Structure 1
Amino acid sequence: MTELLRPIEITRPPAIEFGAGLVGAVGRWAAAQGITRCLVVADAFNAARIELLGLPGEVTVFGEVKPEPDIPNLERALALAERAKPDLVVGFGGGSAMDLAKLVAVLPGSGQAIHDVVGAERVAGRSTALAQVPTTSGTGSEAGTRALVTDPATRNKLAIQSRHMLADLAVVDPDLTLTVPSAVTAATGVDALAHCAEAFTSRRAHPLIDLYALEGIRLVGRYLARAVADGSDREARAGLSVASLYGGFCLGPVNTTAGHAVAYPLGTRHHVAHGLACAVIFPHTLAFNAPAVPEKTALILAALGLRAASDEGAVLAAAHGFCARLGIEMRLSRLGVPEDDLGTMAEEAHAIRRLLDNNPRDLSRDRILAIYRAAL
């Protein structure tokens, strides 16, 4: 079967507003919908600037979102939602805040607990409106139907996917990212790049998504270094916001592959921020997959402004250099990952079949371990 004959479903928020200074569109939309009770799900930094949203009526804030949210973090947010009984839930922050907002919008009052909805389309429904406002350029979660939360009992990520978690409104205001530090800008930018590159090379790749994937990669290549060098560069910030959104478009119908599977244990076991984990792993999995998708790999490098290549060694050197020049720490040992845990991490990564089964090249447990060792 050719890619053109592969069935695909594309689901997007009914309304996406994009533009500098548009953050207040959330409040205007909420007022027009007759919303009177709002719950904002945010990290501590964004919880302190919710007035930018201009929300009407009674506003309750859950401002305790963790960088790698786990079930206890979710349960605290759900308890607040049960008390506040909001008409509207707003995710305001990075992917962690937006993922928790999705779950907070569907679980309270449903009779379902988090483990009841793990997997695809197990959410019973939603009676609360949902708006998403990203403040970083990385996850593209504002456009998608997936949420990830860590189970501390297993130290694995639980993946929930449901059309009921699709936002009614996504407002992407690039000016909200002007305050993001350079190190976070670099790591989250490579996360957006990884979303696009992994979808572009996936076994489930599709021409309807390829155009977003490749353009997202081009935007990262054009603007990420600029935004890292000068956080006040509004054009660069806008370009990265588009790249992140395009990466989100890739996640729903295609999703990620080996890069994210190998990166996940870094966050769940050793609390490496998701974007940083993806950035460290990205060059290794891109290079590993190159022999299976040489033409697409060459296109990815060219889109990044690098010399086109499909040889594993050349691809690894080029992609690693791209990330290192952004100032990203590319050694796992410097990020607190101990060598004696690499084997367990490889076992856990190899078990993430929902991602690895769509990788263009079969990735064994031993090869994952070799990637960790090379990155150590």
Structure 2
Amino acid sequence: MQTLYRFQTADHIVAGRNSLQRVGEHLHLIGADVHKALILTQPSIQSLGFVDTLVGQLADKGVQADVSTSILPEPTIGNIEQVFAAMEGAAYDLVIGFGGGSVLDSAKILSVLSTNDSSVRDLLGTDLVKKPGLPTILIPTTSGTGAEVTPNAIVTLPEEELKIGIVSRYMLPKLVFLDPMLTLGLPKPITAATGMDAFTHSLESFISNKANPISDMFALESIRLISSSIVEAYRNGASVEAREKMLLGSMYGGMALTAAGTAAVHALAYPLGGKFKIAHGVANSMLLPHVMEFNMDAIADRLQQAAEPMGINTQGLTSSQAASKVVERIVEWTRLLEIPQDLRSFGVKLEDVPEMAVSASKVTRLLNNNPKELSLQDMEAIYRKLLS
């Protein structure tokens, strides 16, 4: 565990049922005059009328709002730069991300592109953004990425068939709204994938080499909230209580990864998304039990600590036995949530494995957080477990 650690997150968080209705009255928390805003969202969110509610509140405060639904589900550098080009000359002084993780990440990137003389590619990596971006408001509509409270944003590089992160404190939002009512209509597959993504953030942060008392606090509470609600949210999507727990659990997971970072699961997931377009949460879900098994001899005591908030009775068990129960529970969830477990269904072949391992090996920012070093052969072996 680190002896020196730090933590920073969104400036202001407004949470609770129907909190979307309160955006207008909290605009002053941005700390700057706002006259024109760009709202990034998804067609499905716009069709439900939520965006109209937001536009109306902004208008009441004298803020003109334009709406863009041009961000792709897995945005590429080209997609983001295309949207940025369309912003030219519009004189926006606020960017609002209203949607899933891709929309929230894109809002953060567009905000810093607006004030830094840089391309998206210039910013790939850590602390390469030179100055603050436009103020942002982030409103998640899924319970998965925790992007609303992290300094991270992920983009796809099609030519390299890989996803890469941009990490900068300047991408933290001024204002976040967590309204579980926005997540009631999530389809089952998205509930499952994003929920397991959030759980992966928490568990990986808890076993990370950079884990610390701050990240542990958020990770364990996230694990508790998600473990007690993910199956219910999947089976009964109209359960506001389950949706609220998932949304808070997702946020805490984002805070945990901000403080400690994710590890090998995410590193191995990036080539699956970049090359085979496998949804990030699905890729994480598939890899999570196998990476935990690989790490087992180094993290048994940590997994034992995670067992209790997962609702697992560990009385009389050794740390190794309790850790195995954690992995078994994860496997059970993937079955109950009907998440695919065979990479072949996504077009992956055995001959693709060496190239995927090489791509994953380049994600050193995350692999360095893993409690055990992975060789190329180790990575290939993990991928092959999903092709058996």
* Per-residue deviation, 1:336: 3.0
- Please say which of residues 269-278 and 151-160 is displaced more in the overlay: 151-160
* Per-residue deviation, 1:241: 0.6
Of 58, 62, 73, 1:55 maps to 58
Of 316, 320, 333, 1:310 maps to 320
Distance (whole Å) between structure 2 residues aligned to residue 127 and residue 139 of structure 1: 21
**Pair 344,95 (structure 1): closer, same or farther in 2 beyond 3 Å:** same
1:326 aligns with 2:332: no
Distance (whole Å) between structure 2 residues aligned to residue 84 and residue 323 of structure 1: 45
1:16 aligns with 2:22: no
**Pair 45,267 (structure 1): closer, same or farther in 2 beyond 3 Å:** same
- How big is the alpha-carbon RMSD for the aligned residues of Structure 1 and Structure 2? 1.8
Q: How does 1:128-167 map to 2 (within 5 A)?
A: 128-167=134-173
Contact 2:221–2:249 (CA under 8 A) maintained in structure 1:
yes
TM-score by length of 1: 0.94
Offset from partner CA, 1:288-328 (integer Å, 9 cap, x none)? 11210111112323432346563687654442122212221
The DSSP-based 3-state class of the residue aligned with 2:298 is: coil
Offset from partner CA, 1:212-270 (integer Å, 9 cap, x none)? 10111111110000000000000000000110000110121211001101111111000
Contact 2:115–2:131 (CA under 8 A) maintained in structure 1:
no
Distance (whole Å) between structure 1 residues aligned to residue 366 and residue 115 of structure 2: 31
Letter in 2 for 1:17: V
- Please say which of residues 237-246 and 100-109 is displaced more in the overlay: 100-109
Distance (whole Å) between structure 1 residues aligned to residue 291 and residue 198 of structure 2: 15
- Please say which of residues 84-93 and 96-105 is displaced more in the overlay: 84-93
In structure 1, stretches of 5+ residues that fail to align are: none
1:40 aligns with 2:43: no
**Pair 127,222 (structure 1): closer, same or farther in 2 beyond 3 Å:** closer
* Per-residue deviation, 1:281: 0.9
Letter in 1 for 2:320: S
The DSSP-based 3-state class of the residue aligned with 2:177 is: strand
Distance (whole Å) between structure 2 residues aligned to residue 11 and residue 352 of structure 1: 23
Contact 1:28–1:55 (CA under 8 A) maintained in structure 2:
no
Letter in 2 for 1:310: S
Contact 1:62–1:80 (CA under 8 A) maintained in structure 2:
no
Distance (whole Å) between structure 2 residues aligned to residue 189 and residue 127 of structure 1: 29
Contact 1:121–1:163 (CA under 8 A) maintained in structure 2:
yes
Contact 1:60–1:84 (CA under 8 A) maintained in structure 2:
no
Q: Which residue of 2 aligns with 1:366?
A: 377
1:112 aligns with 2:118: yes
TM-score by length of 2: 0.91
**Pair 198,278 (structure 1): closer, same or farther in 2 beyond 3 Å:** same
Letter in 1 for 2:58: L
Q: How does 1:260-271 map to 2 (within 5 A)?
A: 260-271=266-277
* Per-residue deviation, 1:109: 4.7
Letter in 1 for 2:19: L
Contact 1:89–1:131 (CA under 8 A) maintained in structure 2:
yes
Q: Which residue of 2 aligns with 1:272?
A: 278
**Pair 306,183 (structure 1): closer, same or farther in 2 beyond 3 Å:** farther
Q: Which residue of 2 aligns with 1:353?
A: 364
Matched pairs, number: 373
Letter in 2 for 1:161: V
**Pair 364,302 (structure 1): closer, same or farther in 2 beyond 3 Å:** farther
- Please say which of residues 56-65 and 238-247 is displaced more in the overlay: 56-65
- Please say which of residues 236-245 and 310-319 is displaced more in the overlay: 310-319
Distance (whole Å) between structure 2 residues aligned to residue 82 and residue 269 of structure 1: 31
In structure 2, stretches of 5+ residues that fail to align are: none
Contact 1:135–1:176 (CA under 8 A) maintained in structure 2:
yes
Offset from partner CA, 1:135-177 (integer Å, 9 cap, x none)? 0000100001111111122122221111111100011111111
Distance (whole Å) between structure 1 residues aligned to residue 234 and residue 64 of structure 2: 38
Contact 1:144–1:248 (CA under 8 A) maintained in structure 2:
yes
Offset from partner CA, 1:29-82 (integer Å, 9 cap, x none)? 337754221101122212433113232332112202222110111012211222
* Per-residue deviation, 1:28: 2.9
Distance (whole Å) between structure 2 residues aligned to residue 306 and residue 327 of structure 1: 21
Q: What is the percentage of aligned positions where both structures have the same residue? A: 35
Q: Which residue of 1 aligns with 2:291?
A: 285
1:91 aligns with 2:97: yes
